[in-house]
Every structure is written in C-alpha cells, then in structure tokens.
Amino acid sequence: MTTAFDRRSEQGVAMVTAILVMFVVSILAVGMMYTSFHNTASSARNRSWGQALHVAESGVHQAIAYLQNTKGTVPVGTISGATADGTYNYRVLPLARNRYQIDSVGTVGAAGTLQSSRRLRVTMAPPMSFEYGLFSLSDVNTKNQNVICGDVWANSNVHVQNGDAVRSAEFGGCPDGSAGDGSVTAATGYIELENNSIIEGDAWSGGKNSSGAAITLNNNAEIGGLAKGSSSSPGCGDDPGHSSYKIVNQGTIGGTATTWGTITGGGPTGGSFALTCTAAAATKQMPTFTYNASNYPAGTVHEYTFPADYNTFNSYISANKSNLSGVFYIQGGDGSTPVELGDVLIGGDLVVVAMNAPISAIKNIGVVAGNTSDKLVVLASFYATDATTCTTNSGNPADCAIGIKNNFAPSDDSVTGGDNTAVLLYAPNGAVSLKNSANFLGAIYANNIQIKNVMHITYDPRVSQIVGFGATTLDVDLWLECAPGETTTPTC
C-alpha cells in the first residue's frame, strides 16, 4: 500500500545537488578570479621591477654622456629625467685622478604596491692601459742585481743577466700589494738568462738568436715556470729542419719545456716536448697618449716651449724642487735642451710631458720628508732616440728619451721602498735607461729599456689607469646594483 509520503522518495535530491554544484562552481570561480588578480598584480610588479633597472640605466647613460661631452665637468646637484617607462634621478661625485662615481635611481609605477625603484652605482675611470712592470717595443736588457716584481713584455728580445730576478708577487721577494706572475715574454725574439739570474714565472719566446737558440739558461740560471720556444711563422714553416728554436738549459727549468727545436742540457722538471710547434705571441702596441689641459686640476698646469722657455722652466724647477708637484707640458725642444729633474723632492701628483725633449734625472729623486700622501708621478718623453746610442755602460745615461741615474727613489723611504708614490716612465719613441740604485713602484713603457746596477722595480696597479692614456677618455670601471639608500657596504 502506498502512502501520501514515502520516506524512501527521492523527490528534491536534484535541487540539493544543483545547489551544491553551484556552490562549488562559485568557489572555483572566486579562486580563479583571485588567482588571476594576484597574477596580474605580480606581473605588474615584476614588470615595474625590471623596467626600473632600465630606467636607472638611462640615468647612468645620460650622466656618462654629460661627462664625455663636457670633458669631465660634473653636473651640479641631482639631475632628474624621464623615459616612457618611468623617471630617474642621478648625481655624479668626482673622485681623485679623473674618476667619477655615478648614482642613479630609476622609478616605475604609481605610488603604492605596484611602484618599484632600483639603484645603480657606476664608477668611470681612465681606460686600463698599463699591466706590465716592463714593456718594450723592442728589447729589454737588465744587468747586475736588479729585481723586477711583475711581468716583462718585449716585442723583441729579453736579456736577464748577472744575478737579476724577475719575481712573482705570489712567491715572495716582492712588497705586499705588488702584482704579476714574474713571467717574461719576447714576442718575436729570444730570451737569455745568465749568471744566477731568475725568472720565477714562465718564459715564452717567439724568435731565436744568431745561434738558433730561442731560450738560453747559462751558469745556474733558473726559470720557475714553463719555457716555450715558439715561431711566428704559421706551422713553424720558417724552420722545417728543426735547426733553430733550441732551448739550451745550463740551469734549471721548473715547469715543462716545449719548443720547435731541440732541448739540450739538463732535463726540465716538468718534462720535455721538443720538435713541437707552438704559435708565438702577437706583438703589442704602446698605449697612446693625448694631452688635454682640462684633464688636470685647475691651477696645476704649466706649459712651456723649448728652447725659448728653457731658462724659465729651469728657474721654476729650481725654486720649487724641495716640494714639486703639478703638470708640466713642454713643446718643442731637442737633444740639447733636456728636461732636468735632478735633486727634486716630490710633494704631490707630478706629470711631466716632453714632446720633443729628453728627460734627465741624473741624481737624487725622492719625496718630501714625512709626506705620506698618495702620489702619482708620470714622466713622459716623446723624444726619438736610437737604442744603440742610449747607453748605461759608462758615465751618465746619454741620448736616451728618459735617462735616470743614482738614487731614483720616489717613495717615503728610499731604503725599504715606501708605498705612497707610484711612477710611470713612458717613452714610446726612444729608450729608457736606468743606472745605479733605483727603487720605485710602478712601470716602465718604452721603445727600448736598459737597466743596470741594483734596481728594484715593483709593478703597482695604481699606474694601470692614468688620465690621457688609451683610446678613450673614460671607461666603466665598476657597475653594480645597490639597495636604495644603501651606504654601508664598501662599494655602495
């Protein structure tokens, strides 16, 4: 019998199911809408974050263009600008020796959660130009108890004689802060070591002497790294019979010895690879120099023309030799009117540029007593000389682009070699000759280099970037991102 209400009846279930389905669909729809809104906001923030960096870069590039176009004039205060994506603010802080610090902040988006700001710090500096302790367009000759802390490069030949040492900063014998592996490269020439001389790093030659030797070690000479005799002829085609490019070892080679020719004498510690062709190093060019008075601090530049101003220049040097600094640009001149710097004490940055006159520092170059400030000395002579007439054999160095003799010690302590003064000697057209007790930090770049009698020259990275040298005025030296407002780290 059927009643009016059957407890087992399924009437109304469809409605309940429909309501449940609608509830679930509503929850899913709300979740999808929330996720969509969240993703949209996140994407907008990410876009703002990425765009803010590009906007900050726009400020940096505008600052760089301003510095280049105005030859280093620093804009006053904070400079504002805008791109299609946002706004930027930058400021430029001048640093010592033509370096500039640029801080740029880029901002994208309206105020609130979608706004992003990013900050860049960029340092501009003269381009990297000097990386060797000694660099010669032709030969390097050292003799009699000299120490070179750093690397040596010659486009032609290298002679290391009579107890000389080319040392690495890593293995000792060089002051803290020096740089270089103590390696020697003779790009198209030979290398000769004699009488207990040492090259702590590698020795790499690209030529041969009149006896066909690429590398020669005589009388207990030593090479700490590898020795390599290479040829600049493709496939060593200039010597098909292996009669040249010999390594003659009457000393010690700590690494491997590899050469197109034969290897005679003692066996290298690292093994021998004779009759093996390797390509010689390509020759290198001298960094160029462009004089511009505006590159130097106002009031420090002195310009002369030789021989007309020869006596005027000498009178100024004589009156200020006890505390000399500044920039001296000398046009004209000849071999009879040298720039004489004997008995000078350096009191600050000193730049001497002689366009057609030799620079002579025959004796006693030092610094003002007690002056421990950081100083940079640049002696640059464009005087053209023949290396065969520039000599260290007797008397004073003569017929040299730069001739230095007796106690050239531009440091706070001529005995220990203080670290407050770095020196660059630069002579692209002539020879540099040093004789008798030079002791300085820096580098020598010349057409030819001759060093004799108890010199201690340490490559110093402070000379690597000097205003006026290189193909451009300024290069990016540092580029990094800082947190907005960050000032506590060494770089930000």
pLDDT tens-digit series, residues 85-109: 999 999 999 998 889 999 999 999 8
Q: Lowest-pLDDT range, 9-23, 179-193, 458-472?
A: 9-23
Task: Say if strands 116-125 and 99-108 run parallel, antiparallel, or are unpaired.
Answer: antiparallel
Do 403 and 313 lie in one domain? The reply is yes
Q: Which residue, 266, 282, 298, sits at the end of a domain?
A: 282
Which pLDDT band holds residue 386 (cuts at 50, 70, 90)? confident
Q: Which residue, 221, 253, 282, sits at the end of a domain?
A: 282
Best CA proximity match to 367, nearest among 319, 317, 417: 417
Q: Is the pLDDT of residue 491 over 90?
A: no
The distance from CA 169 to its chain's CA centroid, rounded to whole angstroms, is 16
Residue 5 falls within a domain, yes or no?
no
* CA pair distance 354, 457, nearest whole angstrom: 23
Do 324 and 377 lie in one domain? The reply is yes
Do 172 and 313 lie in one domain? The reply is yes
Task: Specify the pTM.
Answer: 0.85
* CA pair distance 62, 84, nearest whole angstrom: 15
* CA pair distance 331, 337, nearest whole angstrom: 11
β-sheet with 79-82: strand ranges across: 79-82, 87-95, 99-108, 116-125, 475-482
The number of folded domains in the chain is: 3
Give phi and psi for 416, each to the nearest 5. Answer: -95, -15
Q: Is the pLDDT of residue 37 over 60?
A: no
Do 451 and 305 lie in one domain? The reply is yes
* CA pair distance 206, 281, nearest whole angstrom: 7
The pLDDT tens digits of the residues spanning 203-262 come to 999 999 999 999 999 999 999 999 999 999 999 999 999 999 999 999 999 999 999 999
The CA dihedral of 468, 388, 134, 363, to the nearest 10 degrees, is -80
Output the pLDDT for position 406: 85
Do 298 and 350 lie in one domain? The reply is yes
Q: Which residue, 261, 282, 303, sits at the end of a domain?
A: 282
Residue 361 falls within a domain, yes or no?
yes
Do 334 and 464 lie in one domain? The reply is yes
The answer to whether residues 388 and 433 touch, using CB atoms and an 8 Å cutoff, is: no
- Greater pLDDT, 152 or 20: 152
Do 106 and 228 lie in one domain? The reply is no
Residue 64 falls within a domain, yes or no?
yes
- Greater pLDDT, 391 or 389: 389
Residue 4 falls within a domain, yes or no?
no
Do 165 and 219 lie in one domain? The reply is no
Do 446 and 303 lie in one domain? The reply is yes
Residue 160 falls within a domain, yes or no?
yes
Residue 228 falls within a domain, yes or no?
yes
Do 418 and 293 lie in one domain? The reply is yes
Cross-strand partners of 95: 99
Do 205 and 175 lie in one domain? The reply is no
Best CA proximity match to 367, nearest among 324, 405, 424: 324
Output the pLDDT for position 224: 95
Residue 491 falls within a domain, yes or no?
no
Q: Count Cβ atoms below 10 Å from residue 455 Cβ, excluding itself.
A: 23
The pLDDT tens digits of the residues spanning 469-485 come to 988 788 899 999 987 66
Residue 318 falls within a domain, yes or no?
yes
Which pLDDT band holds residue 416 (cuts at 50, 70, 90)? very low
Radius of gyration from C-alpha coordinates of the chain: 34
The distance from CA 312 to its chain's CA centroid, rounded to whole angstroms, is 36
Look up residue 162 and give its amino acid. N
Do 257 and 300 lie in one domain? The reply is no
The answer to whether residues 188 and 218 touch, using CB atoms and an 8 Å cutoff, is: no
Q: Which percentage of the chain shows pLDDT scores above 90? A: 62
Which pLDDT band holds residue 363 (cuts at 50, 70, 90)? confident
Q: Which domain holds residue 297?
A: 128-180+285-472
Q: Is the pLDDT of residue 313 over 70?
A: yes
Which pLDDT band holds residue 440 (cuts at 50, 70, 90)? confident
Cross-strand partners of 231: 279
